[in-house]
Amino acid sequence: MSQTPVIEIRALHKAYGQLEVLKGVSINASRGDVISLIGSSGSGKSTLLRCCNLLEDSQQGEILFKGEPVRWRGSGLGRHPADKHQVTRIRTNLSMVFQSFNLWAHLTVLQNVMEAPVHVLKQDRAEVEALARELLDKVGIGDKADVYPAQMSGGQQQRAAIARALCMRPEALLFDEPTSALDPELEQEVVRVIKALAEEGRTMLIVTHDMRMAADVSDHVVFLHNGLIEEQGPPDSLFKSPQTARLRQFLRHSMEE
C-alpha cells in the first residue's frame, strides 16, 4: 500500500505580477523524508517553501497536505485559499523556521516557545510548559528559558526558533535558510540540531545554501534553476555525479565560497 505524502506539490506556478518565479514545480515529501532545496538566489526555492505553507498565494497547480487538497477561490493572480480554517490547520501542522529567527523580543525564550500552543491551539498551559522546557533541553538551551532573545547569540536564537516550531507538534518542519544568518561556529550548533531531527525521522523541507548539510541530512536533494527543477536525486549521486551543466556550475561556485 503506497503511503500518502505529508506534503504534495503538483505543477505549482507562482508569479509576482509579470515575474514568474515558479514555473511548474512538483515535489512529494512522505513521512520521514528530508528534502533539501538548493539553487542560486532567485531560483524560487524560498518562494516554494512559502507557497507550501500558504504564506504566499500560488496562481496554478495543487498543494495537498496528507492527501487533502488546498481549496482555492479565483484564478491566476486573483487565486486565494477559499477556507481560512483550512489554512490555519495546515499552517499549524507545517511549522516554519525562518532565516531571521522571528522570535518575539518582548517575550522570554520559554514564553516564545509556549505562545502558539497556548494561544492558537488553546492547549493546557502546564502541559505546554513541560513540553517547551523539554524541547529547549533537546536543542541545548534549557538554561536560557528565562532570558530574552536579545541576550542570546544568533545560534541560540535559531535553536529557540526550532524548539518553538517543534512545540506545535507539527507533521513536518519547513526550514528557510536556517543557518545563513550565522557565522560558521554558530552555524554548526544549528546543523547538529537539524541532523538530530533528521535521525529521529522527522519530515523536513530545507532550503539551504549549505551543501555539506544538504549532503549529510537529506534523503533527496532538489536543484531549482529559474523556477524549474533542473535536477534531483539522492545526495550521493547529485553531488558526486551531477548530470547537468547548470548543477555542475552551481556546485563549483558553492564550493568556492
149: cell is 532573545
Domain with 224, as residue range(s), is 7-256
What pLDDT does 3 receive?
84
Rounded to whole angstroms, the Cα distance separating 254 from 257 reads 5
What pLDDT does 257 receive?
58
Whether 97 maps to a domain, the answer reads: yes
What pLDDT does 181 receive?
83
Per the structure, the count of domains in the chain is: 1
**What is the pLDDT tens value at each position of the chain, 257 positions in all?**
458 999 999 999 999 999 999 999 999 999 999 999 999 999 999 999 999 999 999 999 999 999 999 999 999 999 999 999 999 999 999 999 999 889 999 999 999 999 999 998 999 999 999 999 999 999 999 999 999 999 999 999 999 999 999 999 999 999 999 998 888 888 999 999 999 999 999 999 999 999 999 999 999 999 999 999 999 999 999 999 999 999 999 999 887 65
Whether 239 maps to a domain, the answer reads: yes
E runs forming strands in 120-191: 172-176
What pLDDT does 211 receive?
94
92 touches 170 (CB < 8 A): yes
- For the chain, what is the total number of helices (H) and then of strands (E)? 9, 12
Beta carbons within 8 Å of 19's beta carbon, 6+ residues apart: none
pTM here is 0.94
What pLDDT does 2 receive?
57
Rounded to whole angstroms, the Cα distance separating 145 from 209 reads 30
Q: Indicate which CATH number applies to the domain containing 99.
A: 3.40.50.300
Whether 107 maps to a domain, the answer reads: yes
Whether 176 maps to a domain, the answer reads: yes
**Dihedral pair phi/psi, residue 4, rounded to 5°:** -70, 125
What DSSP character marks residue 244? S
Whether 113 maps to a domain, the answer reads: yes
What pLDDT does 103 receive?
95
Whether 2 maps to a domain, the answer reads: no
98 touches 180 (CB < 8 A): no
E runs forming strands in 30-126: 34-38, 60-65, 68-69, 72-73, 80-81, 94-97
Whether 151 maps to a domain, the answer reads: yes
207 touches 177 (CB < 8 A): yes
Whether 41 maps to a domain, the answer reads: yes
